[in-house]
A = this chain, B = another copy of it.
Amino acid sequence: MNGVLAPVLTPFRADLSPDPARFVRHCRWLLSQGCSGLAVFGTTSEANSLSVEEREELLAELLRAGIEPAKLLPGTGCCALTDTVRLTRAAVRAGCAGVLMLPPFYYKGVSEDGLFRSFAEAIERVGDARLRVYLYHIPPVAQVGFSPRLVERLLKAYPRTVAGMKDSSGDWNNTKAMLDAFAPSGFEVFAGSERFLLANLRHGGAGCITATGNVNAAAISRLFHEWRSQAAEEMQESLNALRSAVEKHPAIPALKAIVAHYSGDPAWRTTRPPLVELPASQAESLLADLRPLGFEPRGLAS
């Protein structure tokens, strides 16, 4: 697995139920834009605001719609071991490329032993040689993360299963430490932001899994494919400019506002609580910031 993956936004109906039709359309569009895979049920997907059943149903809808499971990297890490096992097993049986696994995130300051045991139990209970686990490191949100020592222990115990990491620490030094320590033996490190895509690829990384991939996948994928070209730095700067415009706002409502605008489908603005929609004035300011950047996502279907 490498390239650019989008943690796919989850559309909701007015009654806040997940909307499979819009979800499938958005997934197809993302693949058409050059996404090499779809990290459905990530943080940007509001996945922890979905029940286990709601995630299962959305995954089933994608498969029914003919989305290739080999393109899917669903998020399956929950607070409860039993939920993690259930979602991971479903993903493996469906033929997904792998799963992106959050650590259990309710208890804070838990021990390395406790986290090791969480992953070990999940992997052994699923008990399937096809399982590929990508560790989801996002301490700014989950507050619970992966130390290099924990990664090392997991790789030693499950070398064929523990396949890589998404590093959403926002700290390049952490990503670089993971690359230096583990990439040479095949561990796939994805930056959690396209801001680090070029640096990540230059140091042996696998690509990026990035929220803004939901709206800017074509340009991000272009850098992934042309990172050795002379234009790479310039392409990186242009990606950064768009990201900076989005980052002035809460990311998920901002991305939903962009999709709503360019698809002409205001229903896309809906978020599930505890998130709230971007206020109209902020959405206008965001769209105004994007215009001079030459941003024009083609074919975003309503």
Contact = CB atoms under 8 A, between A and B. Distances in A.
Contacts of A49: 79-81, 104, 106
A149 interface: no
A41 to B, nearest CB: 12
| Count of identical protomers in the assembly | 2
A64 interface: no
Interface in A99-123: 103-108, 110-111, 113-115, 117-118, 121
A152 interface: no
* Main SS at interface, chain A: loop
Given A49-B79, A49-B80, A82-B51, A273 B106 contact: no
B81 A113 contact: no
B16 A121 contact: yes
A82 B54 contact: yes
Interface residues of A, number: 38
Interface of A: 16, 43, 48-52, 54, 79-83, 86, 103-108, 110-111, 113-115, 117-118, 121, 140-144, 272-276
A81 B16 contact: yes
Nearest to A117: B273
A113 B276 contact: yes
